Amino acid sequence: MRITVFGTGYVGLVQGAVLAEVGHDVLCVDIDADKVAGLEAGHIPIFEPGLEDIVRKNHSEGRLSFTTDAARAVEHGRIQFIAVGTPPDEDGSADLQYVLGVAGTIAGHMAEPKVVVTKSTVPVGTADKVRARMAATLEGRNSDLGFDVVSNPEFLKEGAAVADCMRPDRIVIGTESAETEEMLREVYEPFNRSRDKIIVMDVRSAELTKYAANCMLATKISFMNEIAGLAERLGADVEMVRLGIGADQRIGYHFIYPGAGYGGSCFPKDVKALIHTARENGFEPTLMQAVEDRNDTQKTVIFEKIRAHFKGDLKGKTFALWGLSFKPNTDDMREAASRVLMEALWDAGAKVQAYDPEAMEETQRIYGDRDGLTLAGTKEAALKGADALVVMTEWQAFRAPDFDMIARRLSTPAVFDGRNLFDPDRMARKGFAYYAIGRGLGGPA
Ligand SMILES: NC(=O)c1ccc[n+]([C@@H]2O[C@H](COP(=O)([O-])OP(=O)(O)OC[C@H]3O[C@@H](n4cnc5c(N)ncnc54)[C@H](O)[C@@H]3O)[C@@H](O)[C@H]2O)c1
C-alpha cells in the first residue's frame, strides 16, 4: 500500500521504516529540511537499536523515501499518518498546532479521498478538531472530497522502538467506519499473524487509551518511589519489597523499579495533559496530580543525598556522572533526571564530568560549552579526580564496573546510585560511602 507519514521523529521514522520493511511503499515528510537531507543521505538522527539497518535497506530498495514537499507527500498515500509532536503547552495541555497544521496541509493538497490516521498522542476530541480543520480547508477550496479521520495511538518504547513496532502487543484502531477499519487491517496485517492484536473501538476511547496506558505506567513508578522513600525511613529495603510484591501475578515485576524519577518525552507530558483534560472537564485528577508531584520530588532525591553527604558544601566539588539519557538504549534526554541533577549541582557551585554511551552529542547540543560541564570520552575518564560518582541511567555498561578502579580514581570513595544497580553490602565491603534509592539511609561504610 502507498502510505504517507508526516513527521520523522521517534514515532514517524520508526513506524515508516517498519511499514516499508513489510513491503508497503512509504514516503515520510518533515518540515525539518536538514533532517530530511540527512535521512536521504543515510544519516539517522536518533539512536534506536536496529533502526539504521532497516532505514538504509528500505531506502536503497526504494520502499522508503523522505521529502519536505508536502504536496508530493499528500499525493503519495491514500493513507496519511500524522506522527508529529504534541509538546506540552504552558498550562500542561497538549499543543495541537503541529497536528492541526498537518490536517490543514492534507486538506489543502488532496485531490482524492484520504484516510487520515492520528498516531501522535492527542487529547480526547482531537479527531473532531482534525475533521473540522480539514472540512474548513476543503470548503475554502470549494472541494467536496471525502475523508475519514482515525485514531491509531502508538505504544512503542524508546530504546526498543523497532522491536515494539515489528511485534506490537496490541494495535488500537479508533474508527466507526467498517471500510476504514478494513483498510487499516490491511496495513497492519503483517504484524497481526500470531494472534489478532487489533482492537477496534470508537475514536474517543482510542484517544483516551493512550493516555490511560502511559499514566498507569507512570503511576506504578511513582507508587514504587513513594514506597522507596518510606522504606528508607523505616529501615526496610525496597528491592526486597519489589521482589515480594512482584511475585503476585496481579502486580507483576514490570515497571516497579524505584529510581531517580521518570523522564522522557511521553510520561511527564502525558500525565500533565491528562490532568489538564480532567480539570477542563470539571473532574479533579487527584491520583494523577499525586503521581506528578511524587515524580518532581523524586528527581531531587539524589541531589539531596549528595548535599547531605557533603554537609551542604558543594562549591568547587566535582562529580562524575554516569548516564545522561532518560533511560538506557536511547540518546533522548527530554525531561531526563540527569538534567535536574546537573542543574542543581551547578547552582550549588559544583562541576560535572559526564559520560553516556549514546547521549554525548545530545548533551553537547543542549548545554554547549557550559561552565562546569566536562564531557568525558569514557566512563573511566569521567571519574578522574572527581569527589564522587553518581549513576543516573541504568545502562548495561554501568552494571558491573571495576570498583577498585573507581575507588582509585575518586578523591573520596562515595557513590550515589539513582538506579539501584549495586549491592549495598558489597559497596560497604569495598569501603564506599554508598547511597541508593529506598535501601536505608546510606552513608560511609
Ligand atoms: N517518542 C515516543 O516514545 C512516543 C511513543 C508513543 C507516542 N508518541 C507520540 O508521538 C508523537 C510524536 O512523537 P516523537 O517523539 O516522534 O516526536 P519528535 O519531536 O521526535 O518528532 C516530531 C517530528 O515532526 C516534525 N514535524 C512538525 N511539524 C510537521 C509538519 N507540519 N509536517 C511534517 N513534519 C512535521 C518535526 O520536525 C519532527 O521531526 C507525539 O505526540 C508523542 O507523544 C511518542
Using the mean position of ligand 1's atoms as its centre, give its distance from the Cα of residue 121 in Å.
9
Helix, strand or coil, per DSSP, at residue 44: coil
**pLDDT given for residue 37 in this prediction:** 97
Q: Taking a C-beta distance cutoff of 8 angstroms, is the pair 255, 242 a contact? A: no
**pLDDT given for residue 4 in this prediction:** 98
Residue 98, ligand 1, Cβ within 6 A: yes
Residue 101, ligand 1, Cβ within 6 A: yes
Using the mean position of ligand 1's atoms as its centre, give its distance from the Cα of residue 364 in Å.
22
Check whether 445 has a pLDDT greater than 80.
no
pLDDT confidence bin for 443, thresholds 50/70/90: confident
**pLDDT given for residue 441 in this prediction:** 83
Residue 74, ligand 1, Cβ within 6 A: no
Residue type, 199: I
Residues annotated as catalytic are 266
pLDDT single digits (tens) 237-255: 999 999 999 999 999 999 9
pLDDT single digits (tens) 119-155: 999 999 999 999 999 999 999 999 999 999 999 999 9
Using the mean position of ligand 1's atoms as its centre, give its distance from the Cα of residue 87 in Å.
9
**pLDDT given for residue 442 in this prediction:** 82
**pLDDT given for residue 372 in this prediction:** 97
pLDDT single digits (tens) 276-329: 999 999 999 999 999 999 999 999 999 999 999 999 999 999 999 999 999 999
Spatial separation of the C-alpha atoms in residues 87 and 102, rounded to whole Å: 15
Helix, strand or coil, per DSSP, at residue 105: helix
- How many whole angstroms from its chain centre is CA 230? 28
With 0-12 / 13-18 / 19 or more C-beta atoms within 10 angstroms meaning exposed / middle / buried, residue 237 is middle
Q: Taking a C-beta distance cutoff of 8 angstroms, is the pair 124, 204 a contact? A: yes
pLDDT confidence bin for 199, thresholds 50/70/90: very high
Of residues 443 and 64, which shows the higher confidence score?
64
Using the mean position of ligand 1's atoms as its centre, give its distance from the Cα of residue 157 in Å.
14
Percentage of residues in the chain having pLDDT higher than 70: 100
Place of cell 549491592: 423
**pLDDT averaged over the chain?**
97
Predicted TM-score (pTM) of this structure: 0.95
Cell numbers at 84, concatenated: 508529529
Residue 158, ligand 1, Cβ within 6 A: yes
Spatial separation of the C-alpha atoms in residues 286 and 53, rounded to whole Å: 45
Query: CB under 8 Å to 102, separation ≥6 — which residues?
Result: 6, 7, 82, 84
Check whether 170 has a pLDDT greater than 80.
yes
**pLDDT given for residue 440 in this prediction:** 85
| Mean pLDDT, residues 345-368 | 97
Of residues 211 and 442, which shows the higher confidence score?
211
Spatial separation of the C-alpha atoms in residues 193 and 199, rounded to whole Å: 14
Quickly list DSSP for 413-426: -EEEETT--S-HHH
Radius of gyration of the chain (CA): 24
Residue 29, ligand 1, Cβ within 6 A: yes
Q: Which residues of 239-278 are buried (b: 16+ CB within 10 A; e: fewer)?
A: bebbeeeeeeeeeeeeebbbbbbbbbbbbbbbbbbbbbbb
Check whether 7 has a pLDDT greater than 80.
yes
| Mean pLDDT, residues 194-204 | 96
